[in-house]
Amino acid sequence: MVGETICHYRVSEKIGAGGMGVIYRAEDMRLGRQVALKFLPAELAQDSVSLERFLREARAASALNHPGVCTVYAIEQQQSLHFIVMELLEGETLADKIEAGPLPAETLLDVAVQIAAALEAAHAKGIVHRDLKPANVVVNDNGQVKILDFGLAKSTVAPSSATTAVRLTNAGVTVGTLAYMSPEQARGEPLDGRTDLFSLGVVLYEMATSSLPFEGVTAAMTFDAILHSQPPPLQQHDPRLPAELNRIVRKLLEKERGFRYQTATDVMTDLLRLKRDLAAGRAAATPAEKTIAVLYLENLSRAKEDEYLRDGVTEDIVTELSKINGMRIFSRASVLPYRDAPVTPAQIGRELGAAYVLTGSLRRSESRLRINAQLVDTHSGFPLWSERYDRQMEDVFELQDEIAHRIADALRITLTPQEQEALAAKPTENLQAYDLFLRGKSYLRRMTRQDLEIALQLLETAVLLDPNFALAHAATANLCALYHYHYVREQRWLDRAVASYQRARTANADAPEAWTAAAWIHYSEANYAEAARCAREAIARNSDTEGAYYILLRSLFAGGEYQKIVALAETAVAAAGEDTNIYIPIAGAFGALGDADAERGVARQAVEALDRSLKKVPEDVRARIHLAGNYALLGRVEDALREANLAVALRPNESTVLYNLACVFALVGRKSEAMDALRKASEIGYHDRNWARRDPDLAVLRDDPEFDRLYPAQ
């Protein structure tokens, strides 16, 4: 067509070609401007679906008046020729830029912010691109980004009654470019704006590394990588890249869209913040920071009864190091995947972005405690400091204090008088009370009636030995509120909870654990807004506070604030560590919102976490019945019934187990058995009418008069 005049456009040169069209440079002779003409190939023009898809590209792009989207001027036809008149873009594609090597962080962020802004505009109009990739992004000499090729774009807005909806994609058919597809796209599921955000994550990864995060020798292997594999962290390709960029990319590449960024606006906000911090010199590359991952000490005695001790000592070392301002310590949840795993410091450094790893072992022999510890530089592999301690158990607090001081010395950090005072502070002066407290917490986490009763005996003895033991008082308050909520609705349990909470605050007015206990007290009284406020107070003081996110999300669920739970889901899971309870309100929120895909995604995560937990503590009945419920959500009926039957056999008269058994039966369609289990749960003490009426697992029972009798609406 070069040299021809089509309508009032004089074609001058061919500048590109693709599956859905050939692109030419042309002059608009009426307006005297250079334009691009995209022609639908003649063989496709005869196909109604291809023609409609071609026209849809023009309609989608023309609906967007945004500087980051290639402008469409007109749709034209001359005889059998169909073409789109578009803005002529000068520059090179992002694919060409990436081929020359990784983009500098500043350039990458500038491009990424512009892409996110363009997606924000498209999604606001209900348009999902569905084929975002570097080849569809043009960057001009001034750094201006333009997204083009909306040939696969889809409107998420329902067509009006006056519009004829043309079905261009069959159900279950994947569309897009394989390497940039989201997991839901690869599975042929319905899509929304979050699928573009996954593709943006792939593009960011490729800009930063010049390699794709998901690759395979065959298409099937690439599909499998998208669905199941995690790419190496960005720092494995370039240690100078900011850790925050790796966090943003990982969140964009979440397999389950419920845990992904929910809007392009959120992505843009985080990218702009990182861009600002880089410009101000506050987002230094991770290796320059004094970041430490404290691994769980290896239990050399292999005695199961010492697990609580090694966990407690490790977590207390984390707490001690967190008091030093010159260090950044990774949370418990960050390092849990590496517990007892055969990993090297270098691997942890790459995957977490940690500059240093504190590793070691613990062995208890009667009244003596032996600890080996060393601080390793993750980049050189050499230890900066190592020490072997052989002390009496009663010296455990001094030992933790000494380790913190030695690490500060090794990193050349001068402690302030306030930091030295904070390190010298002990949770209790009584070693036996400390031991009982750690044991009590291990039972408290299981939450069944029998476990709570054992935990209470241990904690009561701990506070008798040390009446000023704030953490033990807080745990007792938490326990009594739980016992009141789950099992015995008698005022004396709330009174005990309040009394223990007040003692905890007297001993340590700012203890975040006391605020978590307060949240459970308010929750047990159905004061959900105040419970959520107290949980946020705990998190504000220490985001790593055990159980704080669980009671926050549970309070939000009880108050019907499902979208707030969705917004907090990723943060909550990251902070919760081994607290598998965190998945309960998250799955419930997605279920209540009708997002079945996201609910199943949470269930898959929960199954993995619960399976790990049960390998460690197979007698944890609460974990087992929740595993059954998640199997039921995933349609794994035999697995669900097996685990449920085992849980009931272990605790046949436990109200919470029977309630969850009802959920399992309801999810697998055994309605009469579900109602029978729910009736028994109610008879022996399951009282939470609000939760039962909101629980999406019991949806099939709500039209049964018996359900209304058991849990009447207000």
Could you report the per-residue pLDDT of 596-646, keeping only the tens digit for each?
888 998 999 899 889 888 887 788 898 999 999 999 999 999 999 999 999
**For residue 361, with 0-12 CB atoms within 10 Å meaning exposed, 13-18 middle and 19 or more buried, which class applies?**
middle
Mean pLDDT of 377-395: 81
Contact 707, 675 (CB under 8 A): yes
Highest mean pLDDT among 259-263, 281-285, 526-530, 538-542: 526-530
Cα separation, 628 vs 642, in Å, equals: 8
Contacts of 355 (CB under 8 A, 6+ apart): 286, 287, 288, 289, 290, 291, 292, 349, 377, 378, 379
Question: Quick check: 303 pLDDT over 70?
Answer: no
Highest mean pLDDT among 61-70, 164-173, 502-511: 502-511
Judge: domain 427-543, CATH 1.25.40.10: yes
Cα separation, 132 vs 223, in Å, equals: 17
pLDDT digits (tens, 9 = 90+) for 655-665: 999 999 999 99
Q: Which CATH number fits domain 560-714: 3.40.50.410, 3.40.30.10, 3.90.950.20, 1.25.40.10?
A: 1.25.40.10
Predicted pLDDT of residue 65: 75
Task: Point out which residues pair with 92 in neighbouring strands.
Answer: 139
Predicted pLDDT of residue 416: 81
Contact 698, 674 (CB under 8 A): yes
Predicted pLDDT of residue 521: 95
**pLDDT band at residue 22 using 50, 70 and 90 as cut-offs:** confident
Which of these ranges, 59-73, 222-236, 351-365, 513-527, has the smallest mean pLDDT? Answer: 59-73
Cα separation, 650 vs 644, in Å, equals: 10
Looking at this protein, which amino acid is placed at residue 84? Answer: I
Handedness of CA 111, 114, 118, 119 (dihedral sign): positive
Predicted pLDDT of residue 515: 94
pLDDT exceeding 90 applies to what percent of the chain? Answer: 33
Tell which residue, 78, 85, 67, 71, has the closest CA to residue 21.
Answer: 85
Predicted pLDDT of residue 679: 94
Question: Quick check: 304 pLDDT over 80?
Answer: no
Predicted pLDDT of residue 153: 43
**pTM over the 0.75 mark:** no
Contact 585, 523 (CB under 8 A): no
* Tokens found for residue 87: 């803005």
* Tokens found for residue 373: 């510890």
DSSP conformational letter for 339:
T
Mean pLDDT of 318-336: 78
Say whether 578 sits in a helix, a strand or coil.
coil
Tell which residue, 90, 84, 60, 59, has the closest CA to residue 6.
Answer: 84
Tell which residue, 646, 601, 600, 655, has the closest CA to residue 623.
Answer: 646
Mean pLDDT of 46-54: 67
Q: Which CATH number fits domain 5-87: 3.40.50.720, 3.30.200.20, 1.10.238.10, 3.30.379.10?
A: 3.30.200.20
Tokens 């230890």 — which residue? 383
Question: Quick check: 418 pLDDT over 90?
Answer: no
Cα separation, 476 vs 489, in Å, equals: 17
Tokens 């935990």 — which residue? 455
Predicted pLDDT of residue 586: 94
DSSP conformational letter for 711:
S
Contacts of 197 (CB under 8 A, 6+ apart): 119, 252, 260, 261, 264, 267
Find the distance separating the first CA and the last CA of the chain, reported in whole Å.
74
Mean pLDDT of 3-7: 85
DSSP conformational letter for 699:
G
Q: Decide which of 410 and 281 is more confident.
A: 410
Tell which residue, 60, 62, 14, has the closest CA to residue 38.
Answer: 14
- Bridge-based pairing of strands 383-392 and 368-377 is antiparallel
Contacts of 306 (CB under 8 A, 6+ apart): 299, 362, 364
Predicted pLDDT of residue 289: 61
Angle made by CA atoms 350, 313, 367, in degrees to the nearest 5: 140
Predicted pLDDT of residue 164: 30
Cα separation, 334 vs 318, in Å, equals: 12
Cα separation, 556 vs 573, in Å, equals: 15
Tokens 């009654």 — which residue? 161
Task: Point out which residues pair with 437 in neighbouring strands.
Answer: none
* Tokens found for residue 385: 């400091």
Say whether 84 sits in a helix, a strand or coil.
strand
- The fold for domain 92-156+175-286 equals Transferase(Phosphotransferase); domain 1 (1.10.510)
Predicted pLDDT of residue 176: 56
Tell which residue, 474, 470, 478, has the closest CA to residue 445.
Answer: 478
Predicted pLDDT of residue 522: 94
Residues in the chain: 714
Cα separation, 265 vs 420, in Å, equals: 43
Neighbours of 314 (CB within 10 A): 21
Mean pLDDT of 391-410: 79
Looking at this protein, which amino acid is placed at residue 439? Answer: R
pLDDT digits (tens, 9 = 90+) for 162-177: 333 333 333 334 445 7
Contacts of 556 (CB under 8 A, 6+ apart): 528, 532, 562, 564, 565, 568, 585, 589
Question: Quick check: 156 pLDDT over 60?
Answer: no
- The fold for domain 289-424 equals Rossmann fold (3.40.50)
Cα separation, 475 vs 427, in Å, equals: 13
Question: Quick check: 151 pLDDT over 70?
Answer: no
Mean pLDDT of 469-491: 91
Cα separation, 81 vs 88, in Å, equals: 20
Cα separation, 463 vs 430, in Å, equals: 10
DSSP string, 20-74: TEEEEEEEETTTTEEEEEEEPPHHHHTSHHHHHHHHHHHHHHHT---TTBPPEEE
Cα separation, 591 vs 6, in Å, equals: 55
**pLDDT band at residue 57 using 50, 70 and 90 as cut-offs:** low
Domain ranges of the chain: 5-87, 92-156+175-286, 289-424, 427-543, 560-714
pLDDT digits (tens, 9 = 90+) for 79-90: 778 788 888 888
* Tokens found for residue 691: 């939760």
Question: Quick check: 44 pLDDT over 70?
Answer: no
**For residue 282, with 0-12 CB atoms within 10 Å meaning exposed, 13-18 middle and 19 or more buried, which class applies?**
exposed
**pLDDT band at residue 412 using 50, 70 and 90 as cut-offs:** confident
Contact 182, 257 (CB under 8 A): yes
**pLDDT band at residue 43 using 50, 70 and 90 as cut-offs:** low
Mean pLDDT of 86-109: 88
b/e map 65-86, b = 16+ CB within 10 Å: ebebbbbbbeebeeeeebbbbb
Rg of the Cα atoms in the chain = 29
Contacts 24+ apart (CB under 8 A), 45-48: 45/80, 45/81, 45/82
Side-chain half-sphere CA neighbours of 457 within 13 A: 6
What's the mean pLDDT when you consider all of the chain? Answer: 84
Which of these ranges, 325-334, 547-556, 568-577, 663-672, has the smallest mean pLDDT? Answer: 325-334
Predicted pLDDT of residue 367: 75
User: Do 5-87 and 560-714 come out as alike in CATH topology?
Assistant: no
- Bridge-based pairing of strands 33-39 and 21-28 is antiparallel
